[in-house]
Amino acid sequence: MQQSYTIRELAKEFGITARTMRHYEQIGLLAPGRRGQSRIYSAADRTRLRLILRGKRLGLGLEESRAIIAMYDPDHGNEQQLLRLVERIREQRAALRERLRDLQAMLAELDAVEAGCLASLAQPRAVPASTSIARRRANR
Amino acid sequence: MQQSYTIRELAKEFGITARTMRHYEQIGLLAPGRRGQSRIYSAADRTRLRLILRGKRLGLGLEESRAIIAMYDPDHGNEQQLLRLVERIREQRAALRERLRDLQAMLAELDAVEAGCLASLAQPRAVPASTSIARRRANR
DNA sequence: TTGCTCCTCACGTCACGTGAGGTGGC
DNA sequence: TTGCTCCTCACGTCACGTGAGGTGGC
């Protein structure tokens, strides 16, 4: 089947710019083929891009994503390296779990802020300044 | 009561650097008082900082946070602005839910990668490249 | 030829990081 | 005096954005 993509196709699919993809190539995160001067991306390139963007959504830097993607690669030879890999995976997982808790807390906060807004809208004059969202939440 | 804070106290409380707080002041997001040359932060300053940082966690830029904080202010809180705020909250919440799924997927993958590593360690020759996660996930 | 997408520099931007060098009060 | 935190420049960094100017094929 040999599925391949242009830079514009992948950029559109993932909602990023072509410049972003060229940037990832410049720092060695992607390595698409060429047809003349134009880049052609394989299904494997597309997968790597997807992993990079997921890392970004999670707030990882590009170098952190590079490290995590490297973990997915099984050609990581010897026993010592594998053991170090397992250790790094455990560290990453602990950090990600913390983010998970942050996220869940934030979703709950947004629910509360929205409810406050809707209450304000329902009774515009019943909400004096001293009970504004900023003030009500000021004491933690 | 007149509660006040030093730059270091607030930085430590929120897990940011003093430089970050000076930066927010430079662009007019914070306006602490002074005692001599040192900055002194009021409870209101602390609240603003908390709102800025929450915006950051939600992926907003500083100018976006500035706009939203202005909306929290009851003096600017007309009905149209509140409705826009509710809309933005709903958008952000959808994005956060996506992140939540990302995180859970990544945690699950790391579990699988770790299991693969441990299996490799137990039986070094039993894990061919064709079963790597990157390859298995290549088709979506 | 027009219109489209592709390309390579290369400077700009946003949100800080990171010293360098100095002040002030317990 | 030592040690601490505070300060102000000011250049560096990361992840791109944004033109400028040019190529290639339907």
> A61: which residues sit within 8 A by CB, 6+ positions away?
none
Q: What is the mean pLDDT of chain B?
A: 78
Residue at shortest CA–C1' distance from C14 = B61
pLDDT given for residue A47 in this prediction: 94
Whether B126 has a pLDDT exceeding 60, the answer reads no
Q: pTM for the whole thing?
A: 0.71
- Residue B81, CA atoms < 13 Å, CB-side half-sphere: 13
Residue A15 has pLDDT above 80, yes or no: yes
Tokens representing residue A132 in the block: 């504004």
As a whole number, the mean pLDDT across chain A is: 77
Confidence of residue B52 (pLDDT cuts 50, 70, 90): very high
Is the pLDDT at A131 greater than 70? The verdict is no
- Interface probe with B: pick from A57, A68, A123, most Cβ of B within 10 Å: A57
| Strand D lies under 7 A from the Cβ of residue B71 | no
pLDDT tier at B74, thresholds 50, 70, 90:
low
| Cα distance from N-terminal residue to C-terminal residue, chain A | 58
- Look up tokens 């170098």; give the residue: A63
User: Considering only alpha carbons, which residue of chain A is nearest residue B58?
Assistant: A106
Give B70 or A32, the one with higher predicted confidence.
A32
pLDDT of A88-114, one tens digit each?
Answer: 667 767 766 776 776 677 677 777 777
Residue B131 pLDDT more than 50?
A: no
pLDDT, tens digit, 9 for 90 and up, residues B81-123? 667 667 767 776 777 777 778 778 877 877 887 787 778 777 6
Judge: A74–B116 Cβ closer than 8 Å, yes or no.
yes
The C-alpha atoms of residue A29 and residue A32 are separated, in whole angstroms, by 10
Is A89 within 8 Å of B124 when comparing Cβ atoms?
A: no
CA–CA separation, A58 and A56 (whole Å): 5
